[in-house]
Amino acid sequence: MASDLSNIIKSEIVSTLESLLSVSGNVDETSLITVSDFSNEQCIKVESNFEFSGINSKWKFYVPTATGTKFEYLMLGGITDLKDTIDDEIADAVKEIVSTICGSISTSVNAQGFDDVSAMKFSLGDSTIIQCDEESETDNIYKFTLLLNDENIIVYISFDKDSLPFVELLSSDHPVSVSSDDSTDSVVQSSSAPSVLSSILGEDSVDNLRLLFDIKLRLSVRLGSKVCLLRDVISWDIGEIIELSQMTSEPLDILVNGVVVGDGEAVIVDGKFGVKIKHIGEHKLI
């Protein structure tokens, strides 16, 4: 059974939009549609190629006029008027957002350590302005209804056939089915973490704890620190180099909401900084 990437895709879409647009958001609904369900308006089509585990997959993002204009408006801090039509500036803003979403998905997937989805990387393809309902050669289209600052916006994503096994649970109304061959594995994968918690906290406490699983926490990595005198701080100028107490060979502190939970080493993932966990809680990487 293929690893399901549905929750990762939803989560990274929302977290990217929250970060780039300074909004609060969530995925209100996802549904599988056909080309005939496309809105009768212009949209920006952005193609993205994903490579993982020997698979070369193409995803197509479709951003309608109303969504694209809203994206640019929010990226500019809401200091301009909302546009009525798509122009090059809106297309560039949408392309940047899609690129960031794809990069975040790749980074998040690689961090999971899936056996069948390894070393995922992406490259951005063509970006064009089209008429949505004239897109005839597209299958497996999912409609994402996003709630940004209590306002619904729509984004469509089309997945090719190679990606389908990994996103089959993406639709909000998709039934979760388990075949007889893989039922045992599925039960083990889905219940292993709760069973550990149950043995510690009890079933009632675990049920209550599940209510907190979607709370967002801020992760940060501390490069180093230094105690400085006020007289030194006020004398700093552009180009000043501050020597930190941390040695280059020492691990970096990993903090969640300001609390140190482990340490790790800096890595580069798809051109972005990342951190490889060496120690988390009571577990250490030997």
Max Cα–Cα distance, the chain, nearest Å: 71
Per-residue pLDDT tens digits for 169-214: 887 554 433 333 443 343 334 334 444 555 555 666 666 766 677 7
* Residue 18: strand, helix, or coil: helix
- Residue-level pLDDT, tens digit, the chain, 286 residues: 788 899 899 989 998 898 888 888 888 889 888 877 776 778 999 999 999 888 899 999 999 999 999 998 888 887 778 888 888 889 998 999 999 999 989 988 888 888 888 888 989 888 899 887 777 667 788 999 999 888 899 999 999 888 888 988 887 554 433 333 443 343 334 334 444 555 555 666 666 766 677 788 888 888 888 888 898 899 998 888 888 887 877 888 898 888 888 888 888 877 788 888 888 876 555 4
Written as one letter, the residue type at 104 is: S
Query: What is the distance between the alpha carbons of residues 77 and 262, in angstroms, rounded to a whole number?
Result: 36
Which domains are delineated in the chain? Answer: 6-167 (3.40.1550.10), 217-286 (2.30.330.10)
Helices (H), the chain: 6-21, 65-75, 88-112, 164-167, 183-201, 203-210, 230-233
| Cα three-residue angle 105-111-113, rounded to 5 degrees | 115
End-to-end Cα spacing for the chain: 30
Number of H helices and number of E strands within the chain? 7, 11
**DSSP-assigned letter for residue 173:** T
Query: What is the distance between the alpha carbons of residues 44 and 67, in angstroms, rounded to a whole number?
Result: 10
Written as one letter, the residue type at 36 is: S
Contacts of 200 (CB under 8 A, 6+ apart): none
